[in-house]
Amino acid sequence: MNEKKEIPHYGYMGKILHIKLNELDYEVISTDKYQQWGGGHGMGSALFWDYCKDKTIQDGRNPKNVCIVAASPFSGTPTPSAGGRCEVVGVGVGLQPIGWFTRSNFGGRFSAMMKYAGWDAVMISGKAPYPVWVDIRNDSVKIHKAEKLWGKNTKEAQAMIIGYVGKDGNNWGWERMPSDKGVEYTTKKPAILCIGQAGEKQMAQAALIHESSNGAGQGGFGAVWGSKNLKAISFIGTNAVKIADPAALVEARFATKEIYAADSDKPDAAFWGPMSFPAKPIMSVAMPTDKARVSACHGCINGCRGIYNLGYGNQNHCNVTSFYAHQAMKWTKGDRIAASKITLQAGDICNELGLNTYPLKHGLPWLLYLYKKGILGKGKQIHSDIDFSKMGSLEFAKEFLTALAYGKDIGKDLAYNGFVPTAIKWGREEDWKSGRLKFTYWGMPEHGYDPRAELEWGFESIVGDRDMNSHCINWIFWHANVAALRGLRPRIDASTLAKLVTDKMKPWVKSENALNYATDNMYSDDIMDLARWHLFYTRYWKNSGLLCDFRWADLFNSKHPELKGATGSDEAGEHIYWNAITGDELTFNDGIKRGQRIYHLDNAIWTLQGRKRDMLKFADYIYDKPFDKGHFPFYMWPIRNDKGEWVYGDVMHRSLDRDKMEDWKSRFYVKEKLDPKTGWPTKEALKAYDLEFVEEELKKHDKLGGKA
Amino acid sequence: MSTFISKEEAVHLLREVDPDDILVAARMHYPSGIHDEWIETLEELMWFLKPASDRDIPAVSIEGLAVWIEDTVEDKALAEDVRKCAKEHDNFVNACEAVYYKLEARVYHLQKVAEGGVA
């Protein structure tokens, strides 16, 4: 089935669009050279390396920055929970201590439509002399003035572009499309990625928004686009993705449905494993309506978004539905429905202004604290005309979020620079160090999973560039803890789970001990191997292959007769889909090795940007305080107890040790063939990961590391 | 729990605590995420603990909660009841629900006293 066919570009469209904003022109680049990187992040990193001429830049607003929005072979195909994800890479804005080369990711149908228009990625370089938007219809690429779009929110801008592209004026009927195949028509609507006012004002908190709530929020890419005078990119196309072995693809999808995915006819409330989670909107608030349906990204088998009859809140999910929920609950005096209405509308405001909601998760309570202490407010030490006594109301949400997007009032500090630099500027650095302002790594908010308990999340974030936000292993937290909280017997016992999970990770991990998060095993080589596997798995299969974080990796699965997950499986593993689509003969582990290579290319870029070993650290409270405040009754995780037996044990009440973390970093560097003194790439590493092409640039900047 | 409480005491127990003494708890929305909740009053604690959907679990140490009620709010009787709930229930979710009903009764009573309705 996997024999290489003569026709190239199975899974790929063969072309990358390079928009040169300085010249208001574009060029077409062949995908051939970049297929070795998979797609998404890997392809983006390689393009960045080739086209960003100054890799020492430390702020994504620098006009030399290059931003890549990339699809993968899975995009636009029926690969389960993969066909609609899209990756964004480039130098970011608002990270600490500098704007690292970083990434973000969003769902919907943008990457699918990009490919239907004939493109694998779009790369944006330079800065336009005036605001523009890019209109791509199959091979036709036009860069238009965006004078009428500039100043509009993301909803208005997308509606105007849809109206412009649909010339028949009938709110979308049959539209004639430019094509080299003769006259073609489509009823599809364009897929648009755009910025709102926050991006136009170059706020670090600015997101790229596609439709509603499909947002690339982390990394400040909205500010990157704003700095380039780029309002929107619109794709519409009439091509199809060529599949090397369509029968194998369909067979794998059926296998996924039958063996692994949640069955709506036989709902299992006590499911374990992401693939077996039923289709449901991922909301963090009560829904003020019972009229709803599940909505999904392109190709997904189990949607996680919702469409409601309210006229607002559609597609909002995850943090967009939670960042304001607690405040709204206070404001409405415990009325969940009224609070949810406010929360959903606050989410809509963020989507429309193009604001990333994540910093508000821990940022809002900190601001409320400053207000209540009499430090923040009208005429106070930190002056603000915003009335913080109304936090929780829709009125406050409108005023505060608008201030953030437009850089008014305290928004000019908070949203433009980020919460951590603002805390330092305001003389409140201690709040960050003590964890009152819970921004744990790289100036980014803690995700909810404390690194003192959930080791892989913390360790991988520290050796990366941002909050890693990859939930593969984190599902264990949810299942084990919800069972314990409800007093239920765990669906999968700790010993079986450790075996199931680590079996998927071989040969990267040597034993089940890799899942043993006991305090005496925290810094072990086994845990490091688990973190390395997950880091590289994520870099390739999720960030480059663009499998959805919500469903993959499927490391265990209660629907499977032996509780095995789909990941790496012979009938529905990641590589099965990859090979069916591309005609490659990639093994599951080949993908992870590619992820390792991509990580090392990223590390070469971070090195050129100015990364030093001592920058890789958590906020002080992670070392100085045990994880035991309020929060959880316990944080259950598989551990080996004193008798050597596997149990679900509490891994709270501990802090990280600075010296041991430093030792962990040294061992990580040695294992990855990096210079332990600096973390920089060595000659040995470049050879091992087939990255010798970066050596000259590193040498030029005197940043080639010494022997590992 | 004692019902003999003065209006001043009721007002005191219902007060907003100092920002430095806020109870930091969290809400687990299974499986979409964990979200901090900064609780300043007994009434807010009641809203926080009110049973919602099957996918929504308050995340807080019950003993930590009892300590906060006892030391910060200064409601020893309620703290005692909270500890009893933990002992009487074999799992956290049921204990939380029991705490909620105790708290609801206490808050409504305190509110009536504070309003001058009950002696």
Task: DSSP for A663-674, please give it.
Answer: HHHHHHHHHTTB
Bridge pairing between strands A15-20 and A121-125: parallel
The residue of chain A with its CA nearest to that of B91 is: A487
Burial of A230 (0-12, 13-18, 19+ CB in 10 A): buried
Question: Which of A286, A482, A628 is closest, CB to CB, to B53?
Answer: A286
A426-464 residue pLDDT tens: 999 999 999 999 999 999 999 999 999 999 999 999 999
Q: How far apart are CA A652 and CA A439, in angstroms?
A: 19
B93·A487 Cβ contact <8 A? yes
Cis peptide before A121 (omega within 30 of 0): no
Would you say A440 and A451 are in contact if contact means Cβ atoms under 8 Å apart? yes
Beta bridge partners of A640: A646
Provide the CA A122 distance to its chain's centre, in angstroms: 18
Looking at residue A321, its pLDDT comes to 86
A120-129 residue pLDDT tens: 999 999 999 9
Any B CB within 8 A of A369 CB: yes
- Structural domains in chain A, sorted by start: 15-236 (3.60.9.10), 263-445 (1.10.569), 455-550+587-675 (no CATH)
Any B CB within 8 A of A284 CB: yes
Looking at residue A261, its pLDDT comes to 93
Looking at residue A172, its pLDDT comes to 61
Residue located via tokens 């019902």: B3
The residue of chain A with its CA nearest to that of B34 is: A448
Confidence class of residue A603 from pLDDT cuts 50, 70 and 90? very high
Any A CB within 8 A of B104 CB: no
Any B CB within 8 A of A660 CB: no
A162-184 residue pLDDT tens: 989 987 555 567 888 888 777 78
Looking at residue A631, its pLDDT comes to 65
A632·B60 Cβ contact <8 A? yes
Altogether, the residues listed in chain B come to a count of 119
Looking at residue A319, its pLDDT comes to 85
Residue A592 has pLDDT above 90, yes or no: yes
B29·A284 Cβ contact <8 A? yes
Looking at residue A5, its pLDDT comes to 46
Tell me the nearest-neighbour CA distance from B90 into chain A, angstroms. 7
Q: How far apart are CA A423 and CA A429, in angstroms?
A: 5
Q: How far apart are CA A175 and CA A115, in angstroms?
A: 18
B25-56 residue pLDDT tens: 998 987 778 888 999 999 999 999 999 887 88
Residue A303 has pLDDT above 80, yes or no: yes
Residue A153 has pLDDT above 80, yes or no: yes
A254-270 residue pLDDT tens: 999 999 999 888 888 88
A326·B37 Cβ contact <8 A? yes
Looking at residue B83, its pLDDT comes to 97
Per the prediction, chain A carries an average pLDDT of 94
Any B CB within 8 A of A267 CB: no
Q: How far apart are CA A196 and CA A204, in angstroms?
A: 13
User: What percentage of chain B exceeds 70 in pLDDT?
Assistant: 96
Confidence class of residue A4 from pLDDT cuts 50, 70 and 90? very low
A334-356 residue pLDDT tens: 999 999 999 999 999 999 999 99
B43·A333 Cβ contact <8 A? yes
Burial of A167 (0-12, 13-18, 19+ CB in 10 A): exposed
User: What percentage of chain A exceeds 90 in pLDDT?
Assistant: 86
A484·B35 Cβ contact <8 A? no
Confidence class of residue A1 from pLDDT cuts 50, 70 and 90? very low
Confidence class of residue B1 from pLDDT cuts 50, 70 and 90? low
What pTM does this model have?
0.96
A318·B33 Cβ contact <8 A? yes
Tell me the nearest-neighbour CA distance from A448 into chain B, angstroms. 5
Tell me the nearest-neighbour CA distance from A330 into chain B, angstroms. 7
Any A CB within 8 A of B4 CB: no
Tell me the nearest-neighbour CA distance from B88 into chain A, angstroms. 13
- Complex-level ipTM: 0.95
Return the half-sphere exposure (C-beta side, CA atoms, 13 A cut-off) of residue A259. 22
User: What percentage of chain A exceeds 70 in pLDDT?
Assistant: 97
Residue A591 has pLDDT above 80, yes or no: yes
B34·A448 Cβ contact <8 A? yes
Confidence class of residue A664 from pLDDT cuts 50, 70 and 90? very high
Secondary structure letter of residue A72 according to DSSP: -
Would you say A663 and A524 are in contact if contact means Cβ atoms under 8 Å apart? no
Burial of A662 (0-12, 13-18, 19+ CB in 10 A): middle
Residue A2 has pLDDT above 50, yes or no: no
A208-267 residue pLDDT tens: 999 998 999 999 999 999 999 999 999 999 999 999 999 999 999 999 999 999 988 888
Question: Which of A372, A447, A486 is closest, CB to CB, to B19?
Answer: A372
Looking at residue A366, its pLDDT comes to 97
Where do the structural domains in chain B lie, given as residue ranges? 7-114
